[in-house]
Structure 1
Amino acid sequence: QAYFSSYTQQATYLDLDTGLAAISAHAKALGYDAIVLFLDELVLWLAFSVQDQAFFRRESQKITKLVESSTGVRPIPLVSFVARQMDLRRWFADSGASGAEQEALDRAFRHQEGRFGTITLGDDNLPYVARQRLLRRKDERAEQVMTEAFDHLERRPEVWDVLLDGVNTDDAHRGADETAFRRTYPFSPALVSTLRSLASVMQRERTALKVMQQMLVDRRETLTVDDVIPVGDAFSYIVNGQNPLDPTAAALFRSARSLYAEKLQPLLLTNHGLTRDDLERAEMGSGSLPAGFLADDRLAQTLLLSAIAPKVPALKGLTASRLASLNHGSIVSPLPGNERTVVLGKVREWSRSIPEIHVEGDRDPVIRVQLEDVDYESVVDRAKGEDNPGRRRELVKALIAEMLDVELRDPDMLGAHTDHLIWRGSRRDVDLVFGNVRDSSWLTDDHFTSRPGTWRLVIDHPFDDEGHSSAEDMQRLDRLLSTGQPRQTVVWVPRFLSSEKMLDLRRLVILDWLLGGTGERWASHADHLSEVDRATARAILQANHSSLRDGLQRALEQAYGVMKPAPGVLQDDAGHDRVLTSLDRSFDPGAPDGATFASAYRSLVDRAYTATYPAHPTFEPGDVEIRVTDLKAVYAHLERAMSDPQKRVPLAGDAAVVRRVANALGVGYAAETHFIFGDDRFSPWGTELARAAGAEGLSDAPVKVSELRRWIDAITPKRGLRPEVSDLVILAWALLRQRAWYHHGAPIPAPQPGKVLSEMELRLQAMPSQSEWTGATRAAGELFGIHASPYLTPQAVASLAEEIKTKVSALVGPAQSLVTHVEDAYRRLDLTTEGQTGRASDRLATAREASLAVSSLMHLDGVEMTRRLAELAESGHGSAIGTSLTRAADVSSALTRFRWDRLDPLKAASTDDDAKQILSRLRLGMTSDEIVTRAADALQRADDEAYQWAIGRSQPPSPGPGPSPVPPAPDPGPIDPGPVVIRDPHRHVVQRNDPGAHQTVLSELRAFLTTHADDQVEVTWRVVE
């Protein structure tokens, strides 16, 4: 007032109570009945001052004054609507307040809550609010324009469902419908849902409605009615500015901003050839950015949104297709509906440079962004020394083997790994050699030489030492071709990887080493991080390792010509126009043919072996190996068919296997129900083998298996049969051409497929008739116990002859000896050697016939022996002859041991009926065939009866004076046990004057019973006075 005399004080500070009372009085003076206060951000204002505990405590208490007054009743009431976006008690607790302070604040809040009513407002009214405050149409014409634009939106289900927020639906989240979309257009329900979900963690100057408003303002010059605002565009509005109050959300926001600014945005600028200056000029309005960059930027920002809001249904489990749909209209694809592939390719490329991006899956993978503030690169830097050319080559070798679907077994002396595979049903080998083609000190000429009948694949690396190029590899191949040396070898020389891909390879080598092993490597290189950070860093680097590995595999497919090269993957080399070169001029491998490395490799092997063996049978399915058991099943049908007059027999066993092998190989034919064999079903083998045998003069001569294999291999076009398969052809030829099998000059049974040896020989075999063969097999069983094959085959005839000769050679001596001994027995028994009882039961006649049979068979072979056996079968008494032969030695031995002199008393007692009966029974037993009565049993019985007869004939001594002598007790005889065969009889006579004799007898009896514990033993004794 000293300087400004007119200054007067207009107002003084009033406390809240006084001020509210003044406002109330003033309003009443103006004629109002009440004052309504809408306090939208009062709670937010307090929450942002929560760190200042004194201020927070002081100001938060004033909320009560909106209801109560210390100045008395206000002239008119105050009606306050306070928006409570959060619970201040939680924020106060998070600010670090003590327990006592929190308890005091809780009491204050409970005091306030009793003075306020609660109106719960859901966040689902955002679309309605946005429609009225932001999206209200100017007039009917504007409404019509917007309706037409909305009606023209693409409605493919995979896009429309995502825009309608129709993914990850459940009871709590139902998604939206077309009406809801129409209400918020150009904002999709998916974007609105994202903003609603993030509303609770947004800054106070970035509420959902304000974000939507700002997005419209910023696009007022470019947004058309046909555009749907992409979800990715919301990222900068949400994360930039003041951090959220929630510490966890604030940390996520900081990590998202950091990842975008430090990695994602620079990568996108580099990919599109832009600089930060270009970006700044566009932000200032003095320039523009390419549409491709803007589209990629939206995708990147959508990924970051999915990381800071992982529970938003539209962003949860984000896939490549959904990522494209959320940014509808931003992604341009040459093929409609192929946006997913375009997006996936971009994200995979980013993930190789940014480990935080994880791509999980194949067709429509889930994409995750891991927001962590961990220095994982320091771990990688500490292991950089593990990157070297040797490890790069080994890693590429392992990746190629994996993509080829090949197991690298132990290499041979030249480093070749043998891959076993199935080609047209047969097992084949491919030798794989990895090395530098141009370097003759590494790969000598021997490394390019294949094994006989085996293809070799030499694979070079998609890089070389500094100063060398793939042209040097091609020059080496030209020199190898100029030598004219035949080699079944294909060389795979790839194009070189670009410098960017080589950086990926080097990083992958480091990560592969770092994350491999048992864990010591990781522990020693990450020991500077905390335990939690180590786990986080390992998870990030493992995801980076997986991404780099997938990317390098695709780069290798392009380098080796399996896929079309993409920009920036390979070095520019116009002179490298082919990647496959054959060192066999008769085979042109062409370009790799296949959608994958493995299919291209299989196609290459198929074409190589097809060029070598163009006429190889096509066993279907071609990837299932023909097993020896399959070949045996076919051979069994061949043998059965040869025994049938029409060579036609029903299919048995696994008919599908027989049909698969026989029909493709041309060895018989399996029809629907029957198997057929013959010359007309043995093509081309019958004609070709006949031609080859005739050319060498071996049509009817013995032929070795080695010669047959040579003839089969020489048939053109080449078949290239596996040895076991050619065995079946040879076995079938032997059956048709009536050839018997011999090994080292001796006949053998026909071998099975897989067991045919080159030194075996096939000889022409004369064949009997089927009836003769039937009789011969029956006679062989009856006479010699031989079970011959029922199928009439050359080998069966030869085998039977060989078995018969073996048996006969052992029986001819005993058979002749038997005749002599039986003749002697006949003379001793006064029997005529011409037989008395007729042929039907004449032991001597049977013995003579058996001896004659074996003697004649000794000098016969093949079909003559078969016919002789058939004659023996017609006699009708083959069983008697067989028994005579098998028991000949035993019978001869029994006749030799028998005490014929014991029969003399019987012969002398010509008038004794008992003696006559004993001799009669013995004669009957000796004239009966051995199959009816065993000679040993008849002789033993006669010996026992003669002894009993002799005892009964002996006269007792004259009795002295006294009573008449008691007659000897009759022999009670054994209880009839039925038919009993008596073996090894023993008879002992014990004298009274030999006191130790009875002990000897008892000891022998005990020993006999112990030895014959399972036999029935009869013990008989008599007292002789």
Structure 2
Amino acid sequence: MLHVSDGLLADASALRDRMGDEAFFDGLGGGDSAWGDLGSAWDAQSFEAAASAGPADADRVRLIGDLVNAYFSASVRSGEWLPMADGLRAITAHAKSLGYQGLVFLIDEIVLWLGQHLADQAWVQNEIEKVVQLAENAAANLPIPITSFLARQRDLRDFLGSHVAGAERTAQGQLFAYWEDRFDKIRLQAADLPKIVKQRLLQPVDSAAAYTLSTAVTEVKQDHAAWGYLLSDDANSDEKAFADVYPFSPALVDTMVALSSLMQRERTALKLMAELLSDGRDTLRVRDVIPVGDLYAPIVLGGSQPLTEEMKKHFAISAQFYRNKMRPYLLRKHGVTDSQAEGLERSHPFVTEDRLAKTVLIAALAPEARSLSNLTAAKLAALNWGTISAFIAGNEAVQVLGIVREWASEFGEISIGDGHDPIVTATLSGVDYDSILERISTEDNAQTRRELVRRLIAEELGLAAASVSLIGLPLTHVWRGNKRTVTVKFGNVRDDSEVLDSDLFHSDDQWRVIIDFPYDSASFSPADDTVRMQKLRDQGRSANTIAWIPNFLSDARQEDLGKLVLLEYLLTGSRFDANADHLPVADRGPAKQTLESRRRTLREVTTSALRQAYGVNAPDDSNVGTDLDGNQIFAPLTDGLTIAPPPTGTLRTGLFHALDAAWAHEFPNHPDLGAEEVTARRLGEALDLVTGVIEAGGRRQGLSRVEQRLAHDVVMPLRLGVLNENVLVVDAAHFGWNSEFARWTGELAGDLTVGALRTKLRGWGMTAAMENTVLLTWAALGNWEFIGIDNPSAQTLPDGAAVRRANLPDDADFTLAQVRAAGIFGVQGESHLTPRAVARFATATREAVRISAIADLVQQLEKHATVLGLEDDAVGRLATARRVNDLVAKTGSARTEKDLVEVLATFDLPDELTALGRTFATAERLAGELQGLDWGIITAAQARRDASFESSLAELRTTAALNESVAPLEPRLKDLAARARALIVGSSQSKPAVTHEPHPGSAPVEEPLPGHEGRVSGTLSVPLTDLDEVLAKLKSDISATHASTGTVTITWQVD
């Protein structure tokens, strides 16, 4: 009714009724139609059949043509449709005539229909206009209303590939918006899918079946690790939602929704679920959760096509990777053929691994699905719950990770992240990177494999020279606080032309480690290496050498080693660019990224296999052989040394385990100072603490936190003293080396030197600084001294230094000497008589007398004895100064520390030291005062015979005769000088001065002073503001009449 030709056929039927069949069909042309021989005469039967056929039917088209030619020459062509508006009006009028009050249009697949024709923009625009008219005319004045429901499974924009130009994409987007704005949206949430699935697909047949299914869900829930992953979806499903979709999981449903939205109509979620149930009808048990991996085959390999060209490309690349790489690899790995694989049980290892691989590939196609995002090994195992048989329950994720690592080492498309539960990713680009590797295949040879193994082991051991020659590399390790060095070499131990006897037997004190390779040629095995080592031991030969003999890598891992050799070569420098020039430029980046990912994985796999081969990780038969057990991995050439299997760890920790055992065998009594190196500086700090305790009487409490740690970490292990809580005791009774040193000193007798004692300590294997610390502590406790060494320390103690009992002074002399030195020189005393205490005391005393000015004081007193009235009395200031001076001189000339102490103790001194101490303390200041005094003006004042001055001079002489401790001399000296100046200046002012004509700023010049030829004096009062000018003038006048070497005495008074 909506087609124009329908009306023409209706008119023809009416005309037939009026004309009758015979006349009508004769006029229609009978058998002579435009179709020629292909046509036939119309009759009632053929007319009815053609009229009821569709508009595109050939007979109907021929009938319309004949009718137009015969009766309706003014009509239009048979294929013409009514305009949309007219058609809607016609159809609603027809429906109304039938008694309907409205029409409801349910239009499915319209978006998919339009999406298939996006290449024809004009067609799409025309059809969208019709959809718009459907909405707009529904609200127009139609006979009855129309309500339309359009299923919009996807956004039309999703069908625009990435190749579409920006302008075209914008235009198409505006067109889609123009359409969508005409309709209201009803969103159907994915959360409703479990309910729909349960109602339409998963209804239990009875209550018993429902109970059985509920029990199965409860069993799954008991796996707490997997439960959360199985519930992961966009709807945040809970246990009830799981029960509604069981034996599917919410995670699988979420995956199906994500995948089916990419596919054509025939791949809807419900249809997929029904297909999976049908496929598992005879094999699935009630407790089985359908794995996510089972979705891959029906969706990707089933022949269905995605909606968009871009997704078609992704699906094709995924299928190609699976068919051409992954599946053949799995078939080879599990030893089955393609035809055999089709009939395997669901629990077969091939089927399980194949399912895991398909899950990873699904995640690559729908990464936006929450159930597939961040696909870790644990999540991968959970999404295929119940299909993985682990040796230990709960270790499914570990087993899966091991499988995935094998894939990653085989295919660059599979990569593994970092961490305990890394993310597994498939990056499928479709780029032929294998062709690049084929170009450099000759780089994989015996030499390059050796070099790579050396480099990988060197990196694991932390050898600094990993990138260069690896012959004779030094490796350091801290053992019991002692940083020691070993020499590491690589070579085939069984081959005496490669590992010479001179490599194994050496005269070095250092240990040597020979690291063998984890493979050999032809029929050789690790046993051949151990046989050589055993033969050498049987010959009675011994050396500080360890051979590290590994089990051999499996064929698969040796193949991986060869692949890694190629990748390491290719991805170094500019070699990739040089060997990838045959690829399109756009493909080179993805190819390099894939190869780098594969290299990372192969490095991890190979390193893990090396750890197993060298015995530091548990062996896996797929990676290494088991010819040697743990006790044979390390083969030492030292008598009596057996090295136990190393603990789980790295090659570095494994080698250090062997070295620890070797050093413990060589030096069993070495002090255990911890895992960190004890430096000479730290030993010096410990020595300072110990000697301080010794000189304090051998006991100190109230240690600071730093001192406590020092005592605990160094003093105690070195057996220098004992720490009890916060009290450190260091004395002869608690010194742990007493018996050894007593025996050694007796054995060495007169040949006691540092070198001789160090030889005795050699069996402990300590560093020189550790030995020095022990020796210096012993010396401090036993009052031993090192001849010719001024300041022995933990860092410095020459082997040639002789050792003897310290030449200490008598205890009484030392005590008296300290009393006298403190009283006279102000030197701080020591609490105990020890060599260090005597040395410190002597040093301090020598320094005090060295800087003393007592000799200057004696000189000044003697020089001015007449004015001062001093005589050579046995007592008094001068006598005291001379005695102190003699003491200083004799003390300073003492040759040894003991001599110095004895000088102080035996020198003739009074019991009371106050006068001597005061004289010594004020010597410098008083000598300076005497030296700086103007003795000339005092002499001039004496010549005046002034009674007052004479009285002051008498007082000065009285004071000068007394000791400084009784009467300080300095004030009297200053007073007398002042009186002398006053006397001289005052008498000068009473005489008329002979001067030039006075003028501002000039000072009058007086007659020369009696007895002082050339000396003149004068006074002048000037304002403070003119002082600089007057002084300058005065200097000029004096310089004109006197030599420049003359002395000017200045006095001043401020009024």
**TM-score interval, smaller chain:** 0.7 to 0.9
1:912 deviates by 7.8
Unaligned stretches of 5+ residues in structure 1 = 167-172, 957-963, 970-985, 992-996
The equivalent position to 1:719 in structure 2, one of 764, 767, 771, is 764
Deviation track 1:765-819 (CA, whole Å, cap 9, x = no partner) reads: 355677864653454466567667665422332454577679989999x97x998
The reply on whether 1:505 has 2:561 as its aligned counterpart is yes
1:23 deviates by 11
Deviation track 1:127-162 (CA, whole Å, cap 9, x = no partner) reads: 222222221222333333323333333422221111
The reply on whether 1:833 has 2:875 as its aligned counterpart is no
Amino acid at match of 1:487: A
CA separation in 1, counterparts of 2:839 and 2:162? 102
Aligned to 1:460: 516
CA separation in 2, counterparts of 1:523 and 1:632? 58
Contact 1:39 1:81 in 2 (8 A): yes
Say which is worse superposed, 46-55 or 526-535, in terms of deviation. Answer: 46-55
1:474 deviates by 3.3
**TM-score, scaled to structure 2:** 0.77
The equivalent position to 1:561 in structure 2, one of 580, 595, 615, is 615
Secondary structure at 1:681's aligned position in 2? coil
1:328 deviates by 0.3
CA separation in 2, counterparts of 1:383 and 1:819? 98
CA separation in 1, counterparts of 2:172 and 2:648? 75
Identity %: 31
The equivalent position to 1:753 in structure 2, one of 780, 794, 813, is 794
Call closer, same or farther: CA 1:805–1:175 in 2, change over 3 Å.
Answer: closer
CA separation in 1, counterparts of 2:176 and 2:743? 114
Unaligned stretches of 5+ residues in structure 2 = 1-30, 32-39, 57-80, 996-1011, 1018-1033
Say which is worse superposed, 646-655 or 297-306, in terms of deviation. Answer: 646-655
Aligned to 1:175: 236
Aligned to 1:84: 152
Aligned to 1:842: 877
Deviation track 1:738-776 (CA, whole Å, cap 9, x = no partner) reads: 1234317xxx24x23222222233332355677864653
Contact 2:858 2:885 in 1 (8 A): no
Contact 1:127 1:183 in 2 (8 A): yes
Aligned to 1:379: 436
1:437 deviates by 2.8
Amino acid at match of 1:876: L
Amino acid at match of 1:735: A
Secondary structure at 2:662's aligned position in 1? helix
1:235 deviates by 0.9
Contact 2:547 2:634 in 1 (8 A): yes
1:724 deviates by 1.3
CA separation in 2, counterparts of 1:28 and 1:952? 150
Contact 2:689 2:707 in 1 (8 A): no
Call closer, same or farther: CA 1:898–1:393 in 2, change over 3 Å.
Answer: farther
Call closer, same or farther: CA 1:1007–1:83 in 2, change over 3 Å.
Answer: farther
Contact 2:669 2:764 in 1 (8 A): yes
Aligned to 1:642: 694
Contact 1:819 1:844 in 2 (8 A): no
The equivalent position to 1:208 in structure 2, one of 250, 266, 269, is 269
Amino acid at match of 1:539: Q
CA separation in 2, counterparts of 1:410 and 1:68? 76
Contact 2:390 2:399 in 1 (8 A): yes
Contact 1:883 1:931 in 2 (8 A): no
Deviation track 1:16-61 (CA, whole Å, cap 9, x = no partner) reads: 9899999999999999998877554455355445557898788888
Call closer, same or farther: CA 1:624–1:764 in 2, change over 3 Å.
Answer: same
Aligned to 2:13: none
Contact 2:431 2:587 in 1 (8 A): yes
1:158-557 correspondence runs (5 A):
158-165=225-232, 173-239=234-300, 240-279=302-341, 282=343, 291-408=348-465, 415-449=471-505, 452-464=508-520, 469-478=525-534, 480-482=536-538, 484-517=540-573, 520-557=574-611
CA separation in 2, counterparts of 1:792 and 1:410? 60
Call closer, same or farther: CA 1:886–1:448 in 2, change over 3 Å.
Answer: farther
Call closer, same or farther: CA 1:274–1:894 in 2, change over 3 Å.
Answer: same
Secondary structure at 1:670's aligned position in 2? strand
CA separation in 2, counterparts of 1:111 and 1:939? 120
CA separation in 2, counterparts of 1:83 and 1:793? 104
Say which is worse superposed, 476-485 or 419-428, in terms of deviation. Answer: 476-485
Aligned to 1:676: 729
Amino acid at match of 1:317: N
Aligned residues: 947
CA separation in 1, counterparts of 2:866 and 2:166? 136
Say which is worse superposed, 821-830 or 398-407, in terms of deviation. Answer: 821-830
Contact 1:640 1:791 in 2 (8 A): no
CA separation in 2, counterparts of 1:586 and 1:888? 80
Say which is worse superposed, 928-937 or 658-667, in terms of deviation. Answer: 928-937
Say which is worse superposed, 440-449 or 51-60, in terms of deviation. Answer: 51-60
1:748-787 correspondence runs (5 A):
748-749=790-791, 751-765=792-806, 767=808, 773=814, 776-777=817-818, 779-780=820-821
CA separation in 2, counterparts of 1:380 and 1:567? 28
Aligned to 1:960: none
1:564 deviates by 2.6
Call closer, same or farther: CA 1:854–1:232 in 2, change over 3 Å.
Answer: same
Say which is worse superposed, 921-930 or 559-568, in terms of deviation. Answer: 921-930
CA separation in 1, counterparts of 2:122 and 2:862? 142
CA separation in 2, counterparts of 1:809 and 1:557? 70
Secondary structure at 1:724's aligned position in 2? helix
Deviation track 1:523-564 (CA, whole Å, cap 9, x = no partner) reads: 333333344322211211111111000000011011112223
CA separation in 2, counterparts of 1:988 and 1:445? 102
Secondary structure at 2:764's aligned position in 1? coil
1:491 deviates by 1.1
Contact 2:699 2:727 in 1 (8 A): no
Amino acid at match of 1:710: T
Call closer, same or farther: CA 1:632–1:97 in 2, change over 3 Å.
Answer: closer
Aligned to 1:981: none
Say which is worse superposed, 752-761 or 649-658, in terms of deviation. Answer: 649-658
Amino acid at match of 1:833: D
The equivalent position to 1:607 in structure 2, one of 643, 661, 664, is 661
CA separation in 1, counterparts of 2:860 and 2:696? 47
Aligned to 2:6: none
The reply on whether 1:125 has 2:125 as its aligned counterpart is no
CA separation in 1, counterparts of 2:1035 and 2:179? 128
CA separation in 2, counterparts of 1:191 and 1:201? 16
CA separation in 2, counterparts of 1:595 and 1:486? 29
Secondary structure at 1:457's aligned position in 2? strand
The equivalent position to 1:869 in structure 2, one of 904, 929, 933, is 904
Amino acid at match of 2:901: T
CA separation in 1, counterparts of 2:468 and 2:822? 56
The reply on whether 1:626 has 2:657 as its aligned counterpart is no
CA separation in 2, counterparts of 1:805 and 1:97? 97
CA separation in 1, counterparts of 2:156 and 2:442? 54
Amino acid at match of 2:805: L
Aligned to 2:708: 655
Amino acid at match of 1:129: I
Amino acid at match of 2:798: L
1:356 deviates by 0.6
Aligned to 2:1003: none
Secondary structure at 2:220's aligned position in 1? coil
Contact 1:417 1:433 in 2 (8 A): yes
The reply on whether 1:138 has 2:205 as its aligned counterpart is yes
Secondary structure at 1:675's aligned position in 2? strand
